[in-house]
Amino acid sequence: MNATRIAFIGGGNMAAALIGGMLQNAPAGARPSIVVSEPDDERRRGLAERLDIETTADNAAALAGAQLVVLAVKPQMMQAVAEDLAPHVAAGQLVVSIAAGIPVSALQAWLDGHRAVVRAMPNTPSMVGCGATGLFAAEGVSAEQRSDAESLMRAVGVVQWLEEESQIDEITALSGSGPAYVFYLMESMQAAAEELGMEPAVARLLTLETVYGAAKLALAADESPAELRRRVSSPGGTTERAIRELDESGVREAFGRAVRASRDRSRELAAKMGESGQS
Ligand SMILES: NC(=O)c1ccc[n+]([C@@H]2O[C@H](COP(=O)([O-])OP(=O)(O)OC[C@H]3O[C@@H](n4cnc5c(N)ncnc54)[C@H](OP(=O)(O)O)[C@@H]3O)[C@@H](O)[C@H]2O)c1
């Protein structure tokens, strides 16, 4: 991390996860100084005690001296927050927004034409350090600033840079909405096991451990998930019979339609937000 001072605007769940991850990963003696601006008194006290960082209720004051500014408020708050900050943002500051669905052009317009903006699209497993984040940098972002945005998001998981901002819609459909697809799979597996007569607690534990174990195995293996699946599907066996049911039920095609629907909805929402950035 090149930045020696980082300001977070909004001290909610995502900000706390990012700060926790950064402080854990920072080499000894190279811990950046961190300030969080957050309106809620109790949350401010909690953050200061738990993470040993500065806090304030004054967004504009938090910006002073920071090279990196992280906008971590809910999307619906973003326009008001960015417009209030606009007169206080310095030319050399990098602004990273983690808000879902808000295009760089809208952020730049609300920040009075500030150029150095990075848009990040993290997902909920970031809260446990296993996130997947897509990053897109506006033209005015320097190599050093790109590296800082990357270090910030690496604190909570893996990072993928995007060439085009429109690719954020694909990231949203895969890793953004993806945890919900896996929860849906878990729900379905657990319900099916309970229908077979398994105790709910046992069905839950075995479902979660199976999904976790399969993901860990797939990450460790050189083979593709398709190959791993073939290896556990002996001809004439139980798994082969189960997979045939899934194929005949059109589950693969349903996944295709679901991911496309999420991508299309992300495009629609971005178009709406883009229009509000032009107003
Ligand atoms: N959580 C995730 O996994 C995830 C994934 C992808 C993207 N994101 C994005 O990350 C952003 C933050 O999400 P989150 O889950 O951390 O939400 P959150 O827990 O609600 O955090 C937002 C924080 O901002 C504070 N806030 C509200 N108005 C403010 C203002 N005017 N100035 C400064 N701070 C203000 C809120 O305080 P009050 O509670 O007092 O209002 C709250 O503590 C969102 O834009 C979301 O789209 C989150």
Q: Which atom of ligand 1 is nearest to the CA of 125?
A: 3
Residue 236 lies in a domain: yes
> Do 238 and 120 lie in a common domain?
no
> Do 159 and 38 lie in a common domain?
yes
> Do 27 and 155 lie in a common domain?
yes
Residue 173 lies in a domain: no
Given a contact cutoff of 8 angstroms between Cβ atoms, the answer to whether 64 and 37 are in contact is no
Q: Choose the final residue of a domain: 140, 167, 194.
A: 167
> Do 163 and 44 lie in a common domain?
yes
Rounded to the nearest angstrom, the distance between the alpha carbon of 73 and the centre of ligand 1 is 4
Number of domains in the chain: 2
> Do 149 and 24 lie in a common domain?
yes
Rounded to the nearest angstrom, the distance between the alpha carbon of 242 and the centre of ligand 1 is 42
> Do 237 and 161 lie in a common domain?
no
Residue 232 lies in a domain: yes
> Do 12 and 75 lie in a common domain?
yes
Pocket test for ligand 1, best of 8, 73, 96, 171 (most atoms within 8 A of CB): 73
Pocket test for ligand 1, best of 45, 69, 74, 168 (most atoms within 8 A of CB): 74
Within 10 angstroms of residue 2's Cβ, the number of other Cβ atoms is 14
Name residues whose C-beta falls within 8 Å of residue 148's C-beta, 6 or more positions apart in sequence.
1, 2, 3, 67, 68, 94
Residue 137 lies in a domain: yes
Q: Which atom of ligand 1 is nearest to the CA of 37?
A: 33
Q: Give, for all 279 residues of the chain, the pLDDT tens digit.
A: 888 999 999 999 989 989 988 888 878 778 889 999 999 999 999 999 998 899 999 999 999 999 999 999 998 999 999 999 999 999 899 999 999 888 999 999 999 999 999 999 999 998 888 999 999 999 989 999 999 999 999 988 999 999 999 999 999 999 999 999 999 999 999 999 999 999 999 999 999 999 999 999 999 999 999 999 999 898 899 999 999 999 999 999 999 999 999 999 999 888 877 666 554
Residue 32 lies in a domain: yes
pLDDT of residue 140: 85
Give the DSSP per-residue string, 133-180.
EEEEE-TT--HHHHHHHHHHHHTTEEEEE-SSTTHHHHHIIIIITHHH
Residue 126 lies in a domain: yes
> Do 24 and 151 lie in a common domain?
yes
> Do 94 and 160 lie in a common domain?
yes
Q: Choose the final residue of a domain: 167, 193, 227.
A: 167
> Do 29 and 149 lie in a common domain?
yes
> Do 11 and 83 lie in a common domain?
yes
> Do 79 and 198 lie in a common domain?
no
Given a contact cutoff of 8 angstroms between Cβ atoms, the answer to whether 138 and 118 are in contact is yes
Given a contact cutoff of 8 angstroms between Cβ atoms, the answer to whether 111 and 86 are in contact is yes
Could you tell me the CATH number of the domain that includes residue 182?
1.10.3730.10
Given a contact cutoff of 8 angstroms between Cβ atoms, the answer to whether 34 and 54 are in contact is yes
pLDDT of residue 146: 97
Residue 89 lies in a domain: yes
Could you tell me the CATH number of the domain that includes residue 21?
3.40.50.720
For the chain, the first-to-last Cα distance in angstroms comes to: 35
Q: Two tokens at 192?
A: 């099916």
Q: Choose the final residue of a domain: 126, 147, 167.
A: 167
Rounded to the nearest angstrom, the distance between the alpha carbon of 11 and the centre of ligand 1 is 7
Rounded to the nearest angstrom, the distance between the alpha carbon of 74 and the centre of ligand 1 is 4
Distance CA 151, CA 18 (A): 10
Cα radius of gyration rounded to whole Å, the chain: 22
Query: Which residues constitute the domain of residue 237?
Result: 178-260
Pocket test for ligand 1, best of 9, 18, 38, 55 (most atoms within 8 A of CB): 38
Residue 275 lies in a domain: no
